[in-house]
Amino acid sequence: MANQVAARLKGDDYQHLYAWWYVLELLMRGKQVRCVTVEDALAGSMDDVTIEHEADASAADEFHQVKYHVDQRGVYSSTSVIAPAKPGETSLLEKFWRSWKLIRARRPERPVLLYLVSNWTWDADDALRPLIEGEHNGIKEEFPVAEPRTCAGKVRAQWQQALKAEDADFAAFVRSLRFRLGFDCTADLVARVAERMEHLGLRSDTPALVVAAGIVRCWVKRGVQAISREELEHAIMEHGLFLPDEREQRVTVYLTTVKDQKFEIEPDYAIDWKRYFDGSPGPRGHQLVDPALWNTVLLPELRDLEARVSAETACRLVRARGLSRLSAWFAFGHCFSEVARYTIEVDQQGKLWRTDAAPSPDFRVVPADGQRWPDGEILDGEGTTVAIGISVTGEIDGDVRKYLSQRTEHVASLLLVRPNKELGRDCLRGAGDAVVLADGVKELARGFAKRWSARRLLVFYFGPLSGACFIGHRFNAVCRDVQIMESLQPGYAPSFLLT
């Protein structure tokens, strides 16, 4: 009995570390992972680990069944997978087959892969072994159509008969199978997970790995199955797995146009523009004493700051703090841009939002009611200037139309956009929403400008500072000239001209 308990616990530890290895992909933006599910109740027997990708990702969703063995006394083979472990039980292949049909019925639009993961190997003398290809551990295409008299054909017939599967379904099922056999022993899996944690800026020593496996175990016990990036980051923070701040190279920049504010972090660089803005000696207003200073003094100063950061440090994480007008945040994001490989962290109402956050899957930017993209709302249809109005905190449409109606400059068309959520102060729920806002605005604005062969784009925005900074951070190759419009409450005036 003691040996059985020990074996079960070793298997649980192995499975939890394997799950943690994939959960960490939520922090790796290039993986485009939306969520990872542990003990997936909707995946049949393929329930150990489920990896779901973003809707627009090309990668298939993955369903993993992990079989850990305490020694190497056994192997898998084409006959063992269709043989029940005990009389009356369902064979391993039948479990996979039923799971595949269940998953396909639930998500017919998504490609899926089923993984058998084990430290046991495949029988070297088995007829199917030569048909397991080396690129991704799938079964070669000739297996489902193998001639009945061949060794492979006999195996195919046995499998298909055991499953009672039609030819087309059987072929599709076989294409989804992946045999990750002879996989890591426990020591190798520990090393694999530790390396990924170190790469992601997490503690990776033995106590940290014990904590990581424990986090997964707690999720399982609490019934927390689908893990999001936010859930993961909360767990990492709660259990102290992030490396100390000094291990991640970063710089802190203060940007001030409104009034001074005390922050806990001492700045490495500071820009104080209060003296350039009109208003009382306390909080300053929205407009400059001399509007020409937007682009003759302020923008060059920002660009000089970026050049200094680039020359004096190897940092690409910029912590931005300060009370500033929205135009300043647009320009800050634009100067410390994504294409220059910067990541910006802003303080949004006491929460730290980063531009490298995973996009929120349920958040989108859409044309406002009555707007047709990419035409927009045709105004005079002449000239090479177009305008875009971005509503987040509240609706901007009427104010923008009023301003444009009073201009003498030709504006060919106006495009009004907004999130697919209720407008308001809480429209952006987190950094993931702000990332989608920036990407969505860029995509819509680029197509809109291209439709009108525009050389100048006027940008009107009503939203939080994070949205302005994130949009500026992403806003490259949209139009030759991007004119940011500062709200004067009431009215607007041109501020930064970003080229």
Measured from the Cβ of residue 356, the count of other Cβ atoms closer than 10 Å reads 14
User: pLDDT at position 230, please?
Assistant: 87
**What distance in Å separates the CA atoms of residue 367 and residue 441, rounded to the nearest whole number?**
10
Alpha-carbon separation of residue 87 from 17, 83, 90, 98, 319 (angstroms) = 32, 9, 9, 19, 63
pLDDT at 489: 81
Residue 284 has what pLDDT? 66
Distance CA 156, CA 78 (A): 9
**For the sheet containing 269-272, what is the strand order?**
269-272, 251-256, 317-321, 343-348, 351-354
The CATH number of the structural domain formed by 365-498 is 3.40.50
Query: For residue 96, what pLDDT is reported?
Result: 97
What is the model's pLDDT at position 452?
95
**pTM to 2 decimals?**
0.55
401 DSSP assignment: H
Q: What is the reported pLDDT for 245?
A: 57
Can you tell me the distance from the alpha carbon of 457 to that of 448, in angstroms, rounded to the nearest whole number?
Answer: 10
Report DSSP letters for 442-490, one per residue: HHHHHHHHHHTT-SEEEEEEES-HHHHHHHHHH--SS-SEEEEEEE-SS
CB contact at 8 A, 157 and 148: yes
Q: Among 63, 64, 62, 61, which Cα is nearest to 110's? A: 61
Distances (CA, A) of 336 to 52, 252, 399: 32, 13, 30
Per-residue pLDDT of the chain (499 residues), as tens digits, is 446 778 888 989 999 999 999 999 999 888 899 999 999 999 999 999 999 998 878 889 999 999 999 999 999 999 999 998 788 889 999 999 999 999 999 888 889 999 999 999 999 999 999 999 988 999 999 999 999 899 999 999 999 999 999 999 999 999 999 999 999 999 999 999 999 998 888 888 888 999 999 999 999 998 877 999 888 988 998 888 987 655 567 899 999 888 777 666 778 999 999 889 887 766 766 788 899 999 999 999 999 999 999 999 888 899 999 889 999 999 999 999 999 999 999 988 878 899 988 899 899 999 999 899 999 999 988 889 999 999 999 999 999 999 999 887 889 999 999 999 999 999 999 999 999 999 999 999 999 999 999 999 999 999 999 999 999 999 998 999 999 999 988 889 999 999 8
Contact call for residues 207 and 180 (beta carbons, < 8 A): no
* Cβ atoms within 10 Å of 73's Cβ, excluding its own: 7
Position 263 scores a pLDDT of: 64
Domains in the chain: boundaries:
2-238, 246-354, 365-498
